[in-house]
Amino acid sequence: MVVGAPLLTVLGGRLPRKKMLMALMVLFIAGNLVSALANTYEVLMSGRVIAALAHGAFFGVGSVVAADLVAPQRKASAIALMFTGLTVANVLGVPMGTALGQALGWQSTFWAVTGLGVIGLLGILLLVPQQQAQSNDLRSELAVFRNPQVWLALLMTALGFAGVFASFTCIAPMMTQVAGFSTGAVTWLLVLFGVGLFAGNLLGGKAADRSVMKSTVIILSSLAVVLTAFVFTAHSMPLAAITIVLFGAAGFATVPPLQMRGMQTAAGAPALASAANIAAFNLGNAGGAWLGGLAIEHGLGYTAPNWIGALLAVAGLVVAVISISLEERVSSGTAGKASEARQNDRKIVPLAN
């Protein structure tokens, strides 16, 4: 996902966005078809890699398409609505896919996803309006990465989502070994987490419509508070269940403002910046999971990943504050130069005798 998002976006830069989405969906279908037909582990993983390459670029280009379909003041909500599909997949897809695999064999899950991919492809063909090509000039697209705000936006995303996945990856042993839930209850706890994802994603979109950076600061702060509280509430079944919902809400409320910020900072290349931001999300997923697992491996306990997640969220918050400060400084400097220019315009130059 990290490699595929920017790479395929650049390679498909001259394609109209609708055709790009269709091409990526075909690649996704092909990857899952390879997995469904796999008779060795190596072939299975090859299919997973093919599907993953398409995933990041699809969400990156899809974010731009969704934002372009609505009025400027509703762009973040449009992105949130697209990502709602991802939250529904967490609520329904994971338990349904698991149940299908247990009943009919693991291949049946990949056949089902392949079928859903075909439905998605038809949906894009019939319902997504035509849009312009993503880019005509690769050099100008890549030039946006000279802007430090782009890198700060990517760093915010990676750190913020690393905070989410540091805790989420270890949530099953935390709930069974610390809170005392049975193994069978974990599925329902994940459904609760998914409900939080769904609500938080939509709320995050509405907040980002008002102010992207203000909502980012508030949401990252909330995520840090919830994860810190989770260290203590994880020892109680009812409190742990409540915290899981709040954790899901705070965790996914970060998505619309972080994705919107990535696109804002690179107005000249929104598709590439959006795809790079998806890569940053997935880099955070992997990095946060690794750090959470490392804490457990070193004997710090099953609640330690919550501390790690809270610290990562705070780190993302610090980057957000730096980004805001840098933006205000540039804005202040521009305003000062404009004022000086106006004063110079008012000066009366005396005529020579």
Residue spans per domain, the chain: 4-129+137-333
What residues are paired with 16 via a beta bridge?
133
Tokens of 286: 């992997």
The pLDDT assigned to 337 comes to: 58
Chain-centroid distance of CA 81 in Å reads 13
Instruction: List strand residue ranges (DSSP E) for the chain, in order.
Output: none
- Give the pLDDT of the chain (353 residues) as one tens digit per residue: 878 878 887 777 778 888 889 999 999 999 999 999 999 999 999 999 999 888 888 888 888 888 888 888 888 888 888 888 877 777 777 778 877 888 898 899 999 999 999 999 999 999 988 866 655 566 767 777 888 898 999 999 999 999 999 999 889 899 999 999 988 888 888 888 888 988 998 899 999 999 999 999 999 999 999 999 999 999 999 999 999 999 999 998 998 999 888 888 877 677 778 888 888 988 999 999 999 999 999 999 999 999 999 999 999 999 999 999 998 887 776 555 555 555 555 555 555 54
Exposure b/e, 138-157, CB count within 10 A at least 16 = b:
eeebeebbeeebbbbbbbbb
H or E element in which residue 254 lies: none
How many whole angstroms separate alpha carbon 36 and alpha carbon 30?
10
How many whole angstroms separate alpha carbon 233 and alpha carbon 247?
12
How many whole angstroms separate alpha carbon 332 and alpha carbon 4?
38
The residues, any chain, with a CB within 8 Å of residue 173's CB and separated by 6 or more, are: 296, 302
Angle, nearest 10°, between helix axes 255-264 and 41-68?
70
**25 contacts 58 by C-beta, under 8 angstroms:** yes
- CATH superfamily for 4-129+137-333 is MFS general substrate transporter like domains (1.20.1250.20)
The residues, any chain, with a CB within 8 Å of residue 114's CB and separated by 6 or more, are: 29, 32, 33, 36
Closest to 305 in 3D by CA, of 172, 197, 146: 172
